[in-house]
């Protein structure tokens, strides 16, 4: 990749959330990425530059917050304050320096044999419309300026604690599916207040009309909130300040929008983008190409493989990977010119066997039309190549590799 100053390039980044996995017996020892039909990603790996990227530095939780920050070219050690404040920023929730934001899931707690288990981290993927009513009604019922609730998308919401504390240990609900929740309640300074809110929500939501209606339709009720991922207001240098490029991000989840917004990116809403397996892949790809006419770099994030992994569905994960390949990567490859450089990457592994995130190096491929590096290979966990940090990978992507 020589001679970068000789020509003006545009940049596209496709992030397939949670695509990386472990080898599975039911796939003959292959991972879902290896087993999926993905000719376009494989072309990028075969003709382009391949490597492995460490998106979760040692000592950090293996979530999409840390990994996503790395993929946007930021060092989590310098910028990370917690997951929830990033999502809050993506939702337009303002924070004072003394405020603490918490991620607020609507969950289903299942009582079995006198034990309370995390039955479903997303309350049967409750609709955004239903969730909005529950979150707003519970917020009004608490009647407190100290704790304020902000509805987001589906099960993902935000609670802001005025003059609060983040000095406690909390657990993501998707990490404790079918486990007894009493072992994973918040611990540390301020934990009593957070546990009280969660307990109050159970009393309030138990007989709420939205939940009665869901039960009547054979759906799981959202019978509790679960607070986690707390942190104070983050401060980022903008992407332009750091890399001299103006950008936009195409995403449905507030976490990724929040990283983009903190980086100074435009974060348009895309009709049909759901943050789930039913998302409109084509709408995201079309929006990305349109944005590329006005910006230097555009990120496209697809949550579907991660959601499939959390649900433990191999069929849906492979389907999601193949949809990203055909409807996003394939669409972009067909229509982009030789003045566009494409990066295909995943943020972290979400192994089906674990149903949660796992920190390990993950594959990436950088591709340009008309330029072949001819090293062969396919886009998967075994594609080899050098090991990069997120900052190193983005620097390579934008500024080129002398070879």
What pLDDT is attached to residue 376?
A: 67
Distances in Å between the Cα of 294 and the Cα atoms of 245, 291, 332, 376 are 11, 5, 16, 34
What pLDDT is attached to residue 2?
A: 43
> Which tens digits make up the pLDDT trace of 343-375?
999 999 999 999 999 999 999 999 999 887 766
What pLDDT is attached to residue 400?
A: 78
What pLDDT is attached to residue 401?
A: 55
Q: Tell me which residues of the chain have a pLDDT lower than 70.
A: 1-7, 374-376, 401-403
| Cβ atoms of residues 305 and 321 within 8 Å | yes
Domains recognised in the chain with CATH numbers: 4-80+236-399 (3.40.720.10), 91-231 (no CATH)
Distance CA 225, CA 133 (A): 13
What pLDDT is attached to residue 374?
A: 62
What pLDDT is attached to residue 7?
A: 60
Distance CA 53, CA 61 (A): 16
> Which tens digits make up the pLDDT trace of 151-201?
999 999 999 999 999 999 999 999 999 999 999 999 999 999 999 999 999
| Cβ atoms of residues 226 and 105 within 8 Å | yes
**Own/partner pairs for 335-339, CB < 8 Å, 24+ apart?**
335/289, 336/12, 336/289, 336/369, 337/369, 338/368, 338/369, 338/370, 339/7, 339/8, 339/9, 339/10
């Amino acid at each position: 990749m020589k001679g970068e100053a000789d020509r003006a390039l545009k940049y596209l980044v496709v992030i397939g959330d949670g695509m990386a996995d472990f080898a599975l017996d039911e796939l003959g020892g292959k991972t879902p990425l290896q087993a999926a039909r993905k000719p376009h990603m494989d072309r990028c790996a075969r003709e382009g530059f391949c490597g492995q990227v460490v998106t979760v530095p040692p000592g950090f939780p293996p979530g999409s917050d840390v990994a996503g920050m790395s993929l946007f070219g930021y060092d989590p050690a310098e910028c990370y304050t917690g997951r929830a404040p990033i999502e809050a920023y993506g939702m337009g929730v303002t924070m004072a320096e003394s405020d603490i934001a918490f991620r607020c899931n609507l969950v289903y707690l299942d009582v079995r044999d006198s034990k309370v288990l995390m039955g479903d981290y997303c309350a049967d993927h409750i609709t955004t419309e239903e969730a909005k009513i529950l979150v707003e009604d519970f917020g009004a019922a608490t009647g407190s300026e100290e704790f304020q609730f902000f509805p987001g998308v589906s099960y993902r919401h935000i609670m802001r604690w005025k003059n609060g504390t983040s000095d406690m240990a909390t657990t993501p609900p998707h990490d404790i599916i079918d486990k007894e929740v009493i072992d994973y309640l918040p611990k540390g300074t301020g934990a009593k207040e957070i546990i009280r809110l969660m307990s109050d929500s159970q009393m309030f939501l138990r007989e709420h009309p939205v939940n009665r209606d869901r039960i009547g339709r054979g759906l799981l009720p959202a019978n509790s909130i679960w607070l986690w991922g707390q942190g104070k207001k983050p401060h980022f240098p903008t992407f332009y300040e750091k890399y001299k490029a103006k950008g936009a991000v195409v995403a449905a989840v507030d976490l990724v929008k929040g990283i983009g917004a903190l980086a100074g990116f435009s974060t348009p809403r895309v009709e049909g983008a759901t943050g789930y397996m039913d998302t409109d892949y084509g709408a995201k790809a079309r929006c990305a190409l349109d944005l590329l006419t006005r910006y230097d770099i555009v990120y496209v994030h697809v949550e579907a493989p991660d959601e499939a992994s959390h649900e433990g569905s191999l069929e849906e994960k492979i389907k999601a990977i193949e949809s990203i390949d055909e409807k996003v990567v394939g669409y972009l490859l067909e229509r982009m010119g030789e003045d566009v450089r494409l990066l295909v990457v995943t943020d972290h592994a979400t192994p089906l066997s674990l149903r949660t995130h796992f920190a390990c190096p993950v594959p990436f491929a950088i591709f340009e039309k008309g330029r072949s590096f001819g090293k062969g290979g396919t886009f998967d966990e075994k594609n080899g190549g050098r090991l990069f940090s997120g900052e190193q990978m983005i620097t390579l992507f934008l500024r080129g590799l002398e070879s």
